[in-house]
Amino acid sequence: MTEDAVADLERAKQLVRDTYREEIKLGLRHVSKVIQKETFGLGSPIDLAFKLGVAPDIRKKVHKQIDLILDNAIKLDSDSDIEILTNGNFDHYIKYDLTISYLRKRHEAFNEIKNIVKEIFKHRIVVAQQLLNAYKKGNFETYEDLARLALPNREMAEKALDDELELSNKVINIVKKNPDIMFAPVILQDFGLIIVEQLMNYGNNRKKSNLDKIYYNNGGN
């Protein structure tokens, strides 16, 4: 790679990383509001437990996941075997996975969820690789520019989002059928599923709404 190409790739990586981190920040803020509503206000013990303990832990873990996804997306450019790449890094990835963090690993439904989470990991690597490689296709200044270069029309972007949403919903449905699989700090015991489901749904809904900004605001399809 030329020096210019290396610089462009690093710039693309930073844009994607910053966007993903902003989304988790907004997602945690949304979950906090949901918890406040469910527990009758700001400053309740459950609200404080989430803000001071759970939310910072989730943020830290998701940031590590983001870096792992992006690092592997770059490797995928030269090592095209996505299965080997996913399998070789999955044990590291699930250490930081939000859903896995709240599950009892000896539960009979755990392995089914674990396999779906692996598919989500693989999907995220592929999407991230498309975004990072977009620097080769034209000039970019923003994440939205990268998205348009990587996925030229809204239909392609919606397909990528829908594929992940389908996998996420499978996880949520299994957890709902097996509520005893979840555990959380005692004070948040009843909120484990709410946290996971609200973060997933909010994130996916945000991505959907952002498509208007990415495509329509630029005259896209």
Contact 211, 154 (CB under 8 A): yes
- Would residue 102 be called left, alpha or beta, if left means φ above 0 and alpha means ψ between -120 and 50 degrees? alpha
| Domain interval for residue 88 | 3-218
Residue 22's nearest CA partner among 49, 50, 62 is: 62
Q: Measured on CA atoms in the order 51, 57, 58, 62, is the torsion positive or negative?
A: positive
Query: What was the pLDDT predicted at 189?
Result: 56
Q: When comparing pLDDT for 210 and 119, which is higher?
A: 119
User: Average of pLDDT values for 118-128?
Assistant: 96
pLDDT digits (tens, 9 = 90+) for 186-209: 555 567 777 878 888 888 788 888
User: Average of pLDDT values for 159-170?
Assistant: 91
Calculate the average pLDDT of the chain. 88
Q: In the predicted model, is pLDDT for residue 138 greater than 70?
A: yes
Placement of tokens 């498509």 in the chain: 211
Query: What was the pLDDT predicted at 48?
Result: 84
User: Average of pLDDT values for 48-56?
Assistant: 87
pTM greater than the 0.85 cutoff: yes
Q: In the predicted model, is pLDDT for residue 217 greater than 80?
A: no
Query: What was the pLDDT predicted at 108?
Result: 97
Query: What was the pLDDT predicted at 193?
Result: 75
Query: What was the pLDDT predicted at 42?
Result: 63
The count of domains in the chain is 1
For residues 101 and 55, what is the distance between their CA atoms, to the nearest angstrom? 13
Q: In the predicted model, is pLDDT for residue 216 greater than 80?
A: no
Measured in whole angstroms, the distance separating CA 74 from the mean position of its chain's CA atoms is 17
Query: What was the pLDDT predicted at 130?
Result: 95
Placement of tokens 């590291």 in the chain: 92
Query: What was the pLDDT predicted at 220?
Result: 47
Instruction: Kindly report which listed range (62-66, 72-76, 112-116, 182-186) carries the lowest average pLDDT score.
Output: 182-186
Query: What was the pLDDT predicted at 45?
Result: 80
Q: In the predicted model, is pLDDT for residue 38 greater than 80?
A: no
Query: Long-range contact list for 49-53, CB < 8 A, 24+ apart?
Result: 49/185, 49/187, 49/188, 50/188, 50/191, 50/195, 53/185
First to last CA, the chain: 33
